[in-house]
Amino acid sequence: MSNLLDVEDLSVTFPTRSGEFEAVRGISFSLGRERLGIVGESGSGKSMTGRAVLGLIRPPGRVTATRMTMNGEDLRAASPRRMRAIRGKHISMIMQDPKYSLNPVMTVGRQITEALRTHEKVSQREAKARAIEMLDAVAIREPERVMRLYPHEVSGGMGQRIMIAMMLIPNPEILIADEPTSALDVSVQLQVLEIMDKLVRDRGMGLIFISHDLTLVSGFCDRVAVMYAGRIVEVCDAGRLHEAQHPYTRGLLNSVPDLEHPRDRLEALKRDPDWRSAPSVSALL
């Protein structure tokens, strides 16, 4: 079986006053029906990777790759019209903060049914029924009532579950979750993750989970790619993260406090300039 996504030598560049800025510098990865974690600090290029796959980098930003295919279809050659059909229907994305990523002047119901009706010819009545079903699937109580609410009337955890419902209703095969729990209270983070995980598993989807939280990713994903300065510095199975070799990954792991083995002093990360120029590690399958 072919991969859901194959990306080779992907670069994202933005022109700035002081020359070109390369947010992503030639990374390669594939995604099967698995959960791939992309970890890195702010500005490491992990969000840009997700957006580049969706074709959401807008000029003057530039995306180049020697290969970018979804189910064997070349995304680089896809027309804007075809890209729109792919977005939502085949690849979808959940963003960080539902406070900003939901339209404040549109009801929850309209935003969800709109996502469905963009890709499927269904009646308003059927779209509504399926939206309610979907809200139910993300464990929202009284979905009929929630359909009529505006985003400012729901909590953050609820907003993110609504976002999941909205992005999964057209049945995409690939979900990119860009820091989906960073803006949420710790108490609801797990609940949202579990709901997302269950839906992704049940539907046999591929998930790209972008996060800066190494522990979270290692507990949640199958494979982890560690990004630094626009490149992938290390790839490993999530279960074997403790065996990671790269000094950056080790540094990140060492700077995480551990409740069971408390240390007097957490190590600060010492960055080696060589990491920046080291070649990107391939995360192809």
- Where do contacts with another protein occur on this chain (CB under 8 A)? 54, 56, 84-89, 92-93, 95-97, 100-106, 114-115, 118-119, 145, 148-150, 152-153, 163, 166-167, 170
Residue 215: CB minimum distance to another protein, A: 26
Please give the full DSSP string across 108-149, using - where no structure is assigned.
HHHHHHHHHHTTS---HHHHHHHHHHHHHHTT-SSHHHHHT-
Residue with Cβ nearer another protein (45 or 50):
50
Amino acid at 184: L
Distance, in Å, from the CA atom of 137 to the CA atom of 21, rounded to the nearest integer, reads 42
The structure tokens listed for 220 are 């949640």
- Shorter beta-carbon distance to another protein: residue 148 or 271: 148
**Of the two residues 99 and 212, which places its CB atom closer to another protein in the complex?**
99
Question: Of 178 and 234, which has the nearer Cβ to another protein?
Answer: 178
Residue 243, C-beta contacts closer than 8 angstroms, at least 6 positions apart: 236
The CA-atom distances, in angstroms, between 72 and each of 30, 62, 141 are 12, 23, 40
Quick check: 30 and 6 in contact, CB under 8 A?
Answer: yes
Neighbour-count burial of 152, counting CB atoms closer than 10 A to its CB (0-12 exposed, 13-18 middle, 19+ buried): exposed
Question: Minimum distance between the CB of residue 214 and another protein, rounded to whole angstroms?
Answer: 25
- Give the nearest distance from C-beta 80 to another protein in angstroms: 9
CB of 276 to another protein, least distance (A): 29
Cβ closer to another protein: 19 or 104? 104
Q: How far is the CB of 121 from another protein (least distance, A)?
A: 14
The CA distance from 285 to 282, in Å, is: 9
Nearer to another protein (CB atom), residue 116 or residue 252: 116
CB of 129 to another protein, least distance (A): 19
**Phi-psi group of 15: left, alpha or beta (phi > 0 → left; psi -120 to 50 → alpha; rest → beta):** beta
Beta carbons of 176 and 210 less than 8 angstroms apart: yes
DSSP string, 185-251: -HHHHHHHHHHHHHHHHHTT-EEEEEES-HHHHHHH-SEEEEEETTEEEEEEEGGGGGG--SHHHHH
For another protein, the closer CB: 75 or 214: 75
